[in-house]
Amino acid sequence: MSKIPVGLLFILLCCAEMSTSFACTNLIVTKGASRDGSVMISYAADSHTRYGAIAFYPAADHKPGDLCDLYHYESGKFLGSIPEVSHTYTVIQLMNEHQVAIGETTFGGLDSLSSQPGALLDYGSLMKIGLQRSKTARELIRVITTLVEEYGYASGGESFSISDANEAWIMEIIGKGKYEKGAVWIARMIPDGYVCGHANQARITNFPFMKTNNWDDPKQTVYHSPDIITFAQKHGFYRGPDAAFSFSDVYNPVNFGGARFCDARVWSFFRKVNRGVRENPDFTKYAQGNLFRLPQYTEESPNPNKFVTNRLPLWVRVDSPVSLQDVMTAMRDHFEDTPLDMRTDFGAGPFHLPYRWRPLEYTVDSIEYCHERAIATQQTGYSFVAQSRNGLPDPIGGIFWFGVDDAAGCVYAPMYCGIRAIPENYAPGNGSMISWSETSAFWTFNQVNNWAYTRYDLIHPEIAAYQQELESRFFRETAIVDAKELEMYRENPAAVSNYLTDYSVYTGNQLVSKWKNFYHYLFMKYMDGNVKQTSGFELLENGNGKGVPKKPAQPGYGKEWERKMRSADRVVRP
């Protein structure tokens, strides 16, 4: 296995190339909205060139004069170096040892602000370095914004999900382009009992303006750059009263694509947990790309700038508490049972495949059409649900549930945030997007999912059943590990990390081994359009002891699709 420089791991694993403007989805759940009182954020890292693995950065002490090298998150280009701090914390991909986690989605925003000459920090560097230097979500926001102010911002517009064991935040940032150094940004704490989400469209609209950012005030729930409004006014991006200013509508105005391809994913999550969204036809129309620009908003406040008025709320209160499994299920969504259901149109084919091969938009006879862009998608490099629990010590309380490839066909493996090593099957350098590895989790799960795409209606239900069986086992196991390690922590805190590491590493490696055997079973069962008879994961023999299977079924295309295939030149004549 070739060795990859540590400074490049984050780049290669997370975003080798941003190949689409509609990549990545984040869901955010506050502790009052979760069934077990945990804070959860999820993240699907979507790209057609992204390889799924777990970056690991151990805690370290640094001497005066030590430098942190910066590489661009997408291109890998070396940007420069900044001073290290005296101590950095352990980071497992996008969660650190203090249960602080972060996710992102790119919204891009105004073209004139997409590039900043001489800037050193892109959003990927900010996520990694921020986690290495923060014990809380608020501290992470402060670290990010302080770094940007000092060294500049080398990316387009970004939305961040930021969480710890007590709070969840949504933060949005966009650079100042050629005009000034740094960025304009805003962060809002999500009220307890509510959920939020973002998917490549800026979401924060109006907000209460703060005169100061008091980082030590636990009651302050909004932080923003002091020039968030004046910068836009100064450079002609906004004309109007301060009270009507909307971050999203000014810096990333929503259009058809922002609604249909991006916010529709948030809508699909919101409607699962909130009746008001589910039953509001205006929100459904918004998700379909139908934008209203009424003179007044719903609450009757004026709309002098003609912003879109049927946008989704920034957050919604849940009808009933959300479980960890509910969040995982939401990450596997294809708009099922909605007007955008991807299983039912002609593009789903005879086997009801809820995926569409790219490009997302296409033209036929001078008319432009589009496919849907769901949360679950074929080009996911990896996804996770970061679970932070304030009733447990940090090493035990944080679990980074990690899966590779399409979330609908992945299995989320538990990686405790107190671990000191990662499973070999998920390790950086174990394969890549252009090099095969038989022990790679990424390639193993891709084999299963891509095979399922050939006969989705039959193969995927088996995947979903085994997925649920394994994840349910992990839920039971982690409950036992929690109790055992809490007792050990009280007696010898230093010993906890070794046990958590052994459990997480063993679980991850065993999962990949099981899934590889599962692929062999599925391939044999469904090859050549036949369906062999099975018992459990065993293919049944015909009884003569010669390895000949029982007569397989031949389900064909189904009557519905056969009617669509009818043609006069295919009529069987006597």
Output the DSSP codes for 149-165: HHH-B-SSEEEEEEE-S
In this prediction the pTM is 0.95
Cα(376)–Cα(44) distance, integer angstroms: 8
**pLDDT of res. 18:** 36
Contact assessment for residue 433 and residue 49, using Cβ atoms and an 8 Å cutoff: yes
Cα(269)–Cα(375) distance, integer angstroms: 9
Integer-rounded Cα Rg, in Å, for the chain is 25
CA angle 15, 455, 438 (to 5 degrees): 50
Domain ranges of the chain: 1-323+379-447+461-522, 534-568
Cα(120)–Cα(70) distance, integer angstroms: 7
Q: Is the pLDDT score of 574 beyond 90?
A: no
Cα(406)–Cα(178) distance, integer angstroms: 38
Tokens representing residue 506 in the block: 């063993």
Question: Mean pLDDT of all residues in the chain?
Answer: 94
The values of phi and psi at residue 240, to 5°, are 160, 180
Cα(454)–Cα(208) distance, integer angstroms: 51
Contact assessment for residue 249 and residue 305, using Cβ atoms and an 8 Å cutoff: yes
Contact assessment for residue 317 and residue 194, using Cβ atoms and an 8 Å cutoff: yes
CA distance readout (Å), 278 to 136, 260, 561:
34, 16, 31
Cα(287)–Cα(207) distance, integer angstroms: 23
Per-residue confidence at 569, pLDDT binned at 50, 70, 90? confident
Task: Write out pLDDT tens, residues 440-484.
Answer: 999 999 999 999 999 999 999 999 999 999 999 999 999 999 999
Tell me how far the alpha carbon of residue 465 is from its chain's centroid: 23
Task: Write out pLDDT tens, residues 345-362.
Answer: 999 999 999 999 999 999
Task: Write out pLDDT tens, residues 220-278.
Answer: 999 999 999 999 999 999 999 999 999 999 999 999 999 999 999 999 999 999 999 99
In this predicted model, which residue has the larger pLDDT, 73 or 484?
A: 484
Up-side HSE of residue 370: CA atoms within 13 Å toward CB?
12
